[in-house]
Amino acid sequence: MLANLSALGIEHLIAIGGDDTLGYAAKLDGLGVKIIAIPKTMDNDVRNTEYCIGFSTAITRASDAIQRQRTTVGSHERIGIFRVFGRDAGFTALYTAYASSIRCVIPEHKVDLDKLIRLLVEDKRHNPSNYALVVLSEGATWEGYAPSLYGEADAYGHRKKASVAETLADEIKRRTGEETIASDLTYDLRSGDPDFIDKLVALTFGNMAYDAILAGKSGLMSALVEGRYDLVPIPDPKLGPRKLDVATTYNVERYRPIYSDKRGLPIFLNRAS
């Protein structure tokens, strides 16, 4: 990498990506490369910022897809199970549930599977249209469940996880006899134009990075902190991805987002660190 940068005459580098990409950016910064970072991941799990490019569009896409599929799930009187991104953090699932008013399961909290299934069956029976909905992070889990991995590892050692939505669908059928519809929304979230918030933030993050280069700065990342644009240190990769603050965002009894007591919190609810 250093040899290529030198050969190409690149004096400043802008790294755009999630925790893996930015972890390598931190390594290059330590080696003396002049580098500025921009956080971009639908998982929204980069430390030192409250927002990553792609997050708002992911929620918009997921909410729209769930709203469209309500008709199918309702007409067949089933339990609809939706899988979204979130290998290590539940931001995408939580905020999709928040916007869609449905239950969710996130990696930060292991749910009681018996209780989850009971709540979904109760939702279905109390619904005049006889259906229920839940959204799961790809890294969602419960006691006794460990997702199987398949395929070759990527450059950062990650292998693909078997669909937790399909596993939950099988458990519901086995335990209750209820029919389900499992839908994997992950790759659909990547398609189409970005929404307004992502266009606004992406343009601003990019200009902030360029301004930082012109000012001779390095080792910094465009960010949102306390709802304001800022330049912050590139996150230390040893700390791992940012996680949800379960106590302020997730109702562990109802497996739903917490809607109350939001005064004073940033617009995206979780602080940057």
Query: pLDDT > 70: what percent of the chain?
Result: 95
113, 95: one domain: yes
Is the dihedral angle over the CA atoms 10, 194, 82, 258 positive or is it negative?
positive
- 127-165 residue pLDDT tens: 999 999 999 999 999 988 876 665 677 776 766 666 899
Whether residue 44 lies inside any domain: the answer is yes
65, 161: one domain: yes
Q: What is the model's pLDDT at position 190? A: 79
Q: Which structural domain range is residue 100 located in?
A: 59-190
Task: Write the CATH number for 128.
Answer: 3.40.50.460
Q: What is the model's pLDDT at position 35? A: 97
Query: pLDDT > 90: what percent of the chain?
Result: 81
Residue range 112-126: average pLDDT?
96
Half-sphere exposure in the Cβ direction for 97 (13 Å, CA): 30
Residues facing residue 127 across a β-bridge: none
34, 116: one domain: no
121, 37: one domain: no
Residue range 20-38: average pLDDT?
95
184, 198: one domain: no
Quick count: other Cβ atoms within 10 Å of Cβ 74?
Answer: 17
- 201-234 residue pLDDT tens: 999 999 999 999 999 999 999 999 988 999 999 9
Domain count of the fold of the chain: 2
109, 199: one domain: no
DSSP H or E segment with residue 250 = strand 250-251
125, 167: one domain: yes
76, 140: one domain: yes
Task: Write the CATH number for 49.
Answer: 3.40.50.450
Q: Do β-strands 228-233 and 250-251 pair in parallel, antiparallel, or remain unpaired?
A: unpaired
Whether residue 266 lies inside any domain: the answer is no
Find the DSSP H helices in the chain.
Answer: 2-8, 19-30, 55-75, 91-100, 113-126, 164-176, 196-214, 246-249
User: Catalytic residue positions?
Assistant: 43
